[in-house]
Amino acid sequence: MDPLPTQFDSRDALVAHVKALAPWAAGERSYIQGGRAKAERKLAAIDPLHYGRTRNFGNGKVTRLSPYLHHGILSLNEVRNEALARCSHPQQIHKFIQELAWRAFWQQVLRAHPGWAWEDVEPYKTGFAAEDYADALPDDIAQGTTGVACIDAFIQELIHTGYLHNHARMYLASYVVHFRRVKWQAGARWFLHHLLDGDLASNNFSWQWVASTFSHKPYIFNLENVDTYFGMLVDTSPAKNVPLDASYETLKARLFPHLPEASCAAR
């Protein structure tokens, strides 16, 4: 068998080569480019000092380093050390370090409990049993044609770029599991198919956290929250996001009719 080429004259030549190898692969290239040089440039641009206060916003100072970490192009230690070099005291960047630690933590959980990757770690705390959730992802979610404008925008970004901001991942996971009552496993499989950083541990345990099978409450959100954090990036008009346009009290009663009040995480 011939060795695979590693040198190309241009990115176009590389893309053409990959397309010839995998003619069945649908879609176009992501804007995210691989390689150590790109990773180093992104690492040099991190802003851990402003990360904590801005990270929940769609235009906040997140690093977009996850594809490089997932593929081993950068290590967590390297990223942590770069962040420490940018501050005078580690406390200034504790939120950033904490998020890096989540990645390491989920890896350890998976190593200790490989079976938890696809099993419910605990029952849902939603007032519903696992059997009440659909097994398959509905087509309108898979294609980003739900009719809920902000949700469709996040899905299109996932499909076309292979990256999604953490908060948008939480919204989508919550929409799939709680607003549409679909098993988290169907959503997790779908994310892994599209994400360039698709990682069994971080992905599946995060889905279980949102679903409440690995946390003490389901995570839900409403349109006001999306507007606060992503209003500058996606259409958050009430007329185009009807199912999300309600107070938390109304949504809790609608989504979890069997639960007592105040049984959801929301942020």
Ligand X SMILES: Cc1cc2nc3c(=O)[nH]c(=O)nc-3n(C[C@H](O)[C@H](O)[C@H](O)COP(=O)(O)OP(=O)(O)OC[C@H]3O[C@@H](n4cnc5c(N)ncnc54)[C@H](O)[C@@H]3O)c2cc1C
| Residue 64: burial class (beta carbons within 10 Å; 0-12, 13-18, 19+) | middle
Out of 149, 158, 170, 234, the only residue in the binding site for ligand X (CB under 6 A) is 170
Question: Minimum distance between the CB of residue 1 and ligand X, rounded to whole angstroms?
Answer: 31
Count of residues interacting with ligand X (CB under 6 A): 28
Q: Which of 115, 146, 145, 142 is closest to 208 using CA atoms?
A: 115
Stretch that binds ligand X, among 14-22, 66-74, 234-242, 249-257 (CB under 6 A): 66-74
Q: What distance lies between CA 29 and its chain's CA centroid?
A: 19
Out of 83, 173, 186, 251, the only residue in the binding site for ligand X (CB under 6 A) is 173
Query: For residues 152 and 236, is the Cβ–Cβ distance under 8 A?
Result: no
Query: For residues 265 and 258, is the Cβ–Cβ distance under 8 A?
Result: no
**Which parts of 31-60 interact with ligand X (CB under 6 A)?**
55
> Both tokens of residue 258?
């069997």
Out of 30, 166, 222, 263, the only residue in the binding site for ligand X (CB under 6 A) is 166
**Residues 203-222: x/- map of binding to ligand X (CB under 6 A)?**
x--xx--x------------
Out of 128, 133, 162, 197, the only residue in the binding site for ligand X (CB under 6 A) is 197
Using alpha carbons, list the distances in angstroms from residue 92 to 79, 89, 98. Answer: 16, 6, 12
Question: Minimum distance between the CB of residue 198 and ligand X, rounded to whole angstroms?
Answer: 5
Is the CB of 198 or the CB of 231 nearer to ligand X? Answer: 198
Out of 80, 169, 178, 180, the only residue in the binding site for ligand X (CB under 6 A) is 169
> Both tokens of residue 36?
């150590």
Question: Minimum distance between the CB of residue 144 and ligand X, rounded to whole angstroms?
Answer: 16
Using alpha carbons, list the distances in angstroms from residue 148 to 164, 206, 239. Answer: 17, 23, 9
Residues whose CB falls within 8 Å of the CB of residue 221, separated by 6 or more in sequence, listed in order: 170, 171, 174, 244, 266, 267
Out of 199, 212, 221, 226, the only residue in the binding site for ligand X (CB under 6 A) is 199
Query: For residues 158 and 194, is the Cβ–Cβ distance under 8 A?
Result: yes
**Residues 80-119: x/- map of binding to ligand X (CB under 6 A)?**
-------------------xx-xx--x-------------
Question: Minimum distance between the CB of residue 65 and ligand X, rounded to whole angstroms?
Answer: 4
